[in-house]
Structure 1
Amino acid sequence: MFLSGKRALVTGSTSGIGLAIARALRAEGAEVVLNGFGDEAEIAKLREELGAIHVGADLTTREGCEELMAAAGPVDVLVNNAGMQYVSPVEDFPVGKWDAIIALNLTSAFHTIRLAVPHMKSAGWGRIINTASAHSKVASPFKSAYNAAKHGLDGLTKTVALEVATDGITCNCISPGYVWTPLVEGQIPDTMAARGLSRDEVINDVLLVKQATKKFVQPSEIGALAVFLCRDEAQNVTGANWSIDGGWTAE
């Protein structure tokens, strides 16, 4: 367990992709700090399962980010995974939704990184992983805030990677396509009703239309990639944006 003695903070880790990453890092010995909202009883079960602490800070504010980092303590592995989405034409896009999406999907990563780097530099080792999206490389209509935030996260990743390149710290993005999570699964019935489609038609002709493999990415696959990026064998992998999208961005 090569991460024994190291502390890993994963934001947005009470479900879905973040939870899969937290589990993968814990399996390699890391002490895990969970962050996110959800049912208190379910979070208590996760804390017991992973031997983790949980900090439910609101990362849409600078104060919430600072609260999280103070409660987490020095971290060796930082995974910025928290995010949200909203879909609307740009002329109708609610300003409050724009502000919240940029704050959570992009600005929170800036705050956690700036607060995590001093310890990583003093330790001579650190891993920063940002969960971006296929939308960090290509755009889709009606997702102006999400596309902007994820493109920005790619740029932030590259900048940080260059700044800490000689300090034993790497900084990379993971950019998934559609991932099979409860959130995605829960959208299928509404889409069936709205478009008059069958379940298979929603999956193949709506959700997976751009993924050449016609398969959902599994959260465990993203967890495995995050583990690889933490290994010593990945010490020269930095400033990279790793697609795990079934071929979506290959076109």
Structure 2
Amino acid sequence: MSFLNGKTALVTGSTSGIGLGVATELAAAGVRIAVHSLPGDAQAEAAVAAMKEAGAPDAKFFGADVSNPDAIRAMIEEVEAWGPIDILVNNAGIQHTAGITDMPDAKWDAIIAINLSSCFHTMKAVLPLMESRGYGRIVNIASVHGLVASVEKVPYVAAKHGLVGMSKVVALEYASKGDPAKGAITVNCIAPGFTETPLIESQIQAAAGRAGGDRDAGIAELLKEKQPSLRMTQTSELGALAVFLCGMAAQNLTGTTIPVDGGWTAQ
């Protein structure tokens, strides 16, 4: 992926989970990585080291609370001073499950702010810069819940559906604004289903315990209601897809949402 070598990516929420996996694959393609999480994240130093070990020419941590638009704008300025943002991966997100009448108002506000509004503010800040340089890639990590719903996830499903719709609009607005010779500007979503991350490890362990200690059998049981493949997606697989979307071969692939869900949304 020599085309990406030396480019700079800002990956929000990239000290663990999907964000770390995506950032690692971009690093392996020669991309400089602006690692992001909340200020003071104890995993920041290890994540930066992991980027360099994977092959990133450089990596640096930028802390910001993405529920705060002013903090987002300040972070974008800081990253731009370090290196022009060629690639933006919006991955930061939170979750809380409860029925609508039990959902705390504060949780609604926080999930919408972090999972949806932050993506508006980051895209608004970087797109004029991308246009001035002729190349830009925005990869928004949506979810299968941007395409279908599940109970007890009102704010999360609303945010992810909103992210899918917003990405389509922005893709249309910028479809002709980049320089095709440099790779143009594209905006796409990746919609993961069940993905193996530390966030759901406790669920996997519990399911494995019910299956007599067989991890694969436990995962299959955990997934059988939703994900027909009966296997988890790996974060590296999502990262490999992000790398493809950032490449020259994807210069005319924009406004799409690609499910990586083992057949969940094909049902």
TM-score scaled to structure 2, two decimals?
Answer: 0.87
SS at 1:214 equivalent: coil
Does the aligned pair in 2 maintain the 1:210–1:248 contact within 8 Å? yes
**Aligned residue for 1:11?**
12
Deviations 1:72-112, CA, capped at 9 Å, x for gaps: 11311000000111000101110000000000000000000
Ranges in structure 2 where 5+ consecutive residues have no aligned partner: 52-57, 178-183
For the residues of structure 1 that align with 2:213 and 2:258, how far apart are their CA atoms?
30
Q: Which amino acid aligns with 2:79?
A: A
Residue 60 of structure 1 corresponds to 67
Please tell me the residue identity of whatever aligns with 1:79: V
Q: Alignment partner of 1:9: what SS?
A: strand
Matched AA of 2:102: D
* Equivalent in the alignment of 2:21: 20
Alpha-carbon shift at residue 71 of structure 1 (Å): 1.5
Q: Is the 8 A contact 1:161 1:239 kept in 2?
A: yes
Provide the identity percentage.
Answer: 47
- Separation of aligned partners in 1, 2:126 and 2:258: 22
Asked if 1:104 is matched to 2:114, the reply is yes
Residues 188, 199 of structure 1: 8 Å contact kept: no
> How many angstroms apart in 1 are the aligned matches of 2:90 and 2:71?
14
* 1:163 alignment partner AA: E
1:158-185 CA-to-partner distances (Å, cap 9, x unmatched) read: 0000000012200000000010011111
- Picking from 174, 177, 187, the partner of 1:164 is 174
8 Å Cα contact 1:14-1:37 kept in structure 2: no
Q: CA deviation at 1:39?
A: 7.4
SS of corresponding position for 1:13: coil
Equivalenced residues, count? 249
Deviations 1:132-189 (A, max 9, x none): 0000000000000000000000001100000000122000000000100111113345
Pick from 156, 181, 184 the counterpart of residue 197 of structure 2.
181
- 2:257 corresponds to which residue? 241
C-alpha change, 1:205 and 1:45, in structure 2 (3 Å) is closer
Q: CA separation in 2, counterparts of 1:87 and 1:191?
A: 19
Match of residue 205, structure 1, among 204, 221, 233 = 221
For 1:249 and 1:150, how far apart are their aligned partners in 2? 14
Other structure's SS at 1:174 match: strand
**Aligned with 2:145 (options 121, 130, 135):** 135
- Letter aligned with residue 187 of structure 1: Q
RMSD: 2.0
Asked if structure 1 preserves the Cα contact closer than 8 Å seen for 2:137 and 2:246, the reply is yes
**CA distance 1:83–1:42, shift in 2 (3 Å):** closer
Distance 2:168 2:151 in 1: 25
Q: 1:158 to 1:25 in 2, by over 3 A?
A: same
What letter matches 1:238 in structure 2?
T
Higher mean C-alpha displacement, 241-250 vs 35-44: 35-44
Q: CA separation in 2, counterparts of 1:136 and 1:206? A: 21
Instruction: Tell me, in whole angstroms, the C-alpha distance in 1 between the residues paired with 2:64 and 2:41.
Output: 14
Q: Assess, with a 3 A threshold, how the Cα gap between structure 1 residues 86 and 40 changes in structure 2: closer, same or farther.
A: closer
Misfit runs of 4+, over 6 Å: 190-193, 196-199
Distance in 2 of aligned mates of 1:34 and 1:99 = 25
Matches of 2:122 and 2:155 in 1, distance apart?
Answer: 20
Distance 1:149 1:197 in 2: 34
Indicate how the Cα distance of structure 1 residues 144 and 40 shifts in structure 2: closer, same or farther if over 3 A, else same. Answer: closer
Evaluate the alpha carbon distance shift between residue 117 and residue 39 of structure 1 in structure 2; reply closer, same or farther with a 3 A threshold.
Answer: closer
Name the structure 1 match of 2:181. Answer: none
Distance across 1 between alignment mates of 2:224 and 2:64: 33
1:13-44 deviation per Cα after TM superposition (whole angstroms, max 9, x unaligned): 00111111111111111111010149755421
- Going from structure 1 to structure 2, the CA distance change for 1:40 and 1:247 (only over 3 Å counts) comes to same
